[in-house]
Structure 1
Amino acid sequence: MRSPGVPSVNRGGYPVLLMVLASTWLGCKPASAPEDPEHARRGRMLFQRGQSIRGTPLVGLLAPERVELGGEVAACARCHGPAGRGSTEGGVEVPDITPGALFHSRPRAVGELEDRSRPAYTRDSLLRAITEGRSASGRLLSVAMPRYELDDLARQELLAYLRELGERPDPGVSPTTLTVGAALPLTGRLGPAGREAAAVLRAVFDDVNARGGVFRRRLELVVEDDAVQAPSPRADATERLLERGVLALVGSLRRGPQPSDAKLTREGAPLVLPLALRGGTSDVDSPVFFLYPDEPSLARLAVQWLASNQEPRLRRASLVVAHSGDDAGEAWTRAVKDEMTRRELPPITELVLPRGLPDAWPSRPPVAVLYAGTPEELGPLLRWLEARAPSVLVLAPARLAQPQVIGTSSMQLRFLTPAGLGERAPGLEVFSEFMARHGLEQGHAAFQLGAYAAARVLVEALTRTGAEVTRASLLLQLESLRDFDTGVSPPLTFGVNRRVGVQGGQLATLEPSTGRLVPASEWLPLSP
């Protein structure tokens, strides 16, 4: 996070330090000395994300108060740009720090740079600049330039990367193509759905390529089979794609956290709108961007809605959470408890089914039941409630809106969905025309719609990135998307601290005759 009271201009002095560090490399090693490729790879993470591969954040101190900046805020790419070409940050001109610009003396001033003309750095003057904030010309560098704390290994890694900055393209980038990957099930039970999703991704990219590609580069898709198989020493599909050298991943199937997530983060490779059928959530600095919130977030939304409409009752009566005792149910319950605690509301009653009935049922009717169990247990619970507490509201995730499960129940049953209904429902005319034009038949709708949204978002971010595309620049453009219309979902917005595009949902009822969800509330924004 940005330090309180420190505007973005405080990073404006960082370019001078990078000149210093890069020139130190020149003073310490002959220009012809071979670089360790592993050092350069690790230095890339320092430059682009402000963190070492060992998990240590880049730290700089702002003179004279020595205000600390760390991590992503201090990342070089934030000011200089992912390719190191320079920018203007908070009104301060940030220079080009590619090798062609760094490794030469500057005989005259460039723009409004405080360092102005300077000789080539020697080892001593470079070290003085790092520790004392003085340039090779003897000028006192701007107080906006952090004095960075780098150990010997981090210094070697950053300098190795600066040596090749802007001269070696990121994985998946060539003069004629941009290669992206998708980890999808191509065999097994979900094989048909995975193949349908891959077909949609390719069709979107075919349309882009027919119009000339993205800045004259064709989009190419590589798919690795992500079918669940017996335990194997073989890396998972995401890791295999990273090893093949893709720029980003798009529309991959996501069943939950993966061992390869650490590698995604280390390499800064974006994963754009994975097909997470129960939604998702990410850390603020994660490269994974989701379309919809996960089910625990919907549980929080349910509590927020109940508190806004029935807070007096919530303070007098219990709120029941029913689940099956699995990890998903435990996560749902924790979210409810956390939101109730945050609002200083009474403790909940927890039912673990099926053994929780009737022993744990509260003596007086609860305000509502928040259900996150299996479809098989929902029917018996509804029948039990219908006989004993028919007026109790039941709230459940939309994945459980199955006519064969609910039957003829007359309970006050409402489903939580972030997909958009009524006035929030996306018009699917463009998508339907797209499917017909490419000869694609409707199949597993959730996979096909999710793949279409993912491809649209990726293409938009790549287009905004420009010709000098890198993984880091793609991440920055994804973070900048605001109210983007995918054509198949509510508008999505991302940000530096926001990795879920749609933040909110609606209550809905199930129309038995059609099996469709019908809106039962206005759009409910999800509070942080």
Structure 2
Amino acid sequence: MPNEPRGAAPAVALALTLLMWACALSAAPPSPSAGEALYRRGQLPSGEPVQALRQGGATIRGADAACVNCHRRSGLGSSEGRITIPPIAGPYLFVPRGKSLEQLGVPFVDTARLNHDPYTDESLARAIREGIGANGRPLDYLMPRYQIDDAAMAELVAYLKEIKVVPNPGVSTAVLHFATIITPDADPVKRRGMLDVMNQYFADKNNAAARTKAPTLYSSHTMMFRVERRWQLHVWQLSGEAATWEAQLRNYLASQPVLAVISGLGGSNWGPVHQFCEAQALPCLFPNVEAPVGNDSDFYSVYFSRGVLLEAQLIARELA
């Protein structure tokens, strides 16, 4: 039997254990509707990639042709330089002429184009297939012309109508609410250090003097503190067994909605927190955890790195 490097067997066992543990924590995401899959992934109800033509004859397919690339997941559009992509969430497409967004209770978006007749299902299908707007004029050259049959088009239009456009409950006229989540097995020393840094940053952000004068930084750049709303940090401290964390998080969120969860500190299990953020469509940004969890299709959780999972993969690859 060939000699194995000392410690190879324990290292391989550790790597496999970590990888299996990560898979167990990554619950399968719910299947999207046909319209959602077409909008976000460029996938037709048949499972085939959608095809579209750009001006000049270039063909794009699948994920490259997905609506989300330009109109974003929110359906609120985007802008870059002088190029503006209008919102295509239902409330903006079907606004009656002469009505303002404020009258309809729809948030203002500076890329919205309301100087046209409201779309109908038929005129919207024509815009998607032929690039002709509700007013009969050609749309911008950036808009692809999609090859979509009637059944798939009906699914896409239905999905656009379902995209919710409501003010974020974590934002008031005076305050932006944020949360940070700490699990019961988090290191108390790290907990104190993290909260000290975050509380100091929030204090600086809210300080009137800091808003008018950039603080001294050990950098060639300056950081501009330009906020009109006060930032408030809420600490969501979890307790007890992991099976109870979801209920605790739901209670925290119901008591005070937040715009996002930022930072945070976990011990051996972050899975319930990750799954909660995905289920609630709540951004969970850069938690301090040893082993990130989730699937490639997850959207709302963002980690600094893959942590020990990446280390385990590298060890397994070197010892294979």
TM-score over 0.5 (shorter chain): yes
Give the secondary structure class of the aligned counterpart of 2:272: coil
Q: CA RMSD in A?
A: 4.7
Q: CA 1:133–1:222 in structure 2 vs 1: closer, same or farther (change >3 Å)?
A: same
Match of 1:68 in 2: 61
Q: How many Å separate the matches in 2 of 1:257 and 1:188?
A: 10
Q: TM-score, normalised by structure 2?
A: 0.56
Match of 1:200 in 2: 197
Q: How many Å separate the matches in 2 of 1:182 and 1:152?
A: 41
Q: Is the Cα contact below 8 Å between 1:225 and 1:237 reproduced in 2?
A: no
Match runs of 1:270-309 below 5 Å: 270-276=283-289, 278=290, 280=292, 283=296, 286-291=299-304, 293-297=306-310, 299=311
Q: How many Å separate the matches in 2 of 1:116 and 1:223?
A: 42
Q: How many Å separate the matches in 1 of 2:304 and 2:233?
A: 20
Match runs of 1:62-211 below 5 Å: 62-63=52-53, 67-70=60-63, 74-75=67-68, 78-79=70-71, 84=76, 86-88=78-80, 92-95=83-86, 99=91, 103-104=95-96, 119-139=117-137, 141=139, 142=141, 144-147=143-146, 150=152, 152=154, 155-161=157-163, 165=165, 168-185=166-183, 190=187, 193-195=190-192, 197-210=194-207, 211=210
Contiguous gaps of at least 5 residues in structure 1: 1-41, 107-114, 300-331, 341-346, 349-528
Q: How many Å separate the matches in 2 of 1:126 and 1:136?
A: 7
Q: CA 1:95–1:156 in structure 2 vs 1: closer, same or farther (change >3 Å)?
A: closer
Q: How many Å separate the matches in 1 of 2:243 and 2:72?
A: 43
Q: How many Å separate the matches in 1 of 2:145 and 2:68?
A: 11
Structure 2 letter corresponding to 1:62: A
Number of aligned residue pairs: give it: 243
Q: CA 1:60–1:262 in structure 2 vs 1: closer, same or farther (change >3 Å)?
A: farther
Structure 1 letter corresponding to 2:236: E
Give the secondary structure class of the aligned counterpart of 1:245: coil
The answer to whether the aligner puts 1:261 opposite 2:252 as a matched pair is no
Match of 1:336 in 2: 315
Q: How many Å separate the matches in 2 of 1:62 and 1:72?
A: 7
Q: Is the Cα contact below 8 Å between 1:224 and 1:240 reproduced in 2?
A: no
Structure 1 letter corresponding to 2:51: L
Q: TM-score, normalised by structure 1?
A: 0.37
Q: CA 1:184–1:140 in structure 2 vs 1: closer, same or farther (change >3 Å)?
A: same
Q: Is the Cα contact below 8 Å between 2:71 and 2:87 reproduced in 1?
A: no
Q: Is the Cα contact below 8 Å between 1:279 and 1:291 reproduced in 2?
A: no
Give the secondary structure class of the aligned counterpart of 2:124: helix
Larger radius of gyration: 1
Q: How many Å separate the matches in 1 of 2:65 and 2:142?
A: 20
Match of 1:384 in 2: none
Q: CA deviation at 1:292?
A: 5.1
Give the secondary structure class of the aligned counterpart of 1:70: helix
1:263-316, Cα deviation, whole Å (9 max, x unpaired): 42355433222122x36477486433334551343x4xxxxxxxxxxxxxxxxx
1:203-229, Cα deviation, whole Å (9 max, x unpaired): 3211211135752111111122223x2
Q: How many Å separate the matches in 2 of 1:171 and 1:158?
A: 22
Q: How many Å separate the matches in 2 of 1:80 and 1:294?
A: 29
Q: Is the Cα contact below 8 Å between 1:248 and 1:270 reproduced in 2?
A: yes
Q: Is the Cα contact below 8 Å between 1:60 and 1:147 reproduced in 2?
A: yes
Q: CA 1:146–1:236 in structure 2 vs 1: closer, same or farther (change >3 Å)?
A: farther
Structure 2 letter corresponding to 1:198: L
The answer to whether the aligner puts 1:215 opposite 2:227 as a matched pair is yes
Q: How much identity, in percent, do the aligned residues show?
A: 18
1:390-414, Cα deviation, whole Å (9 max, x unpaired): xxxxxxxxxxxxxxxxxxxxxxxxx
The answer to whether the aligner puts 1:230 opposite 2:241 as a matched pair is yes
Q: CA 1:60–1:261 in structure 2 vs 1: closer, same or farther (change >3 Å)?
A: farther
Q: CA deviation at 1:337?
A: 3.3
Q: Is the Cα contact below 8 Å between 1:184 and 1:253 reproduced in 2?
A: yes
1:469-500, Cα deviation, whole Å (9 max, x unpaired): xxxxxxxxxxxxxxxxxxxxxxxxxxxxxxxx
Q: CA 1:214–1:242 in structure 2 vs 1: closer, same or farther (change >3 Å)?
A: farther
Query: Structure 1: which 4+ aligned runs deviate by more than 6 Å?
Result: none
Structure 2 letter corresponding to 1:250: I
Structure 2 letter corresponding to 1:75: V
Q: How many Å separate the matches in 2 of 1:257 and 1:221?
A: 20
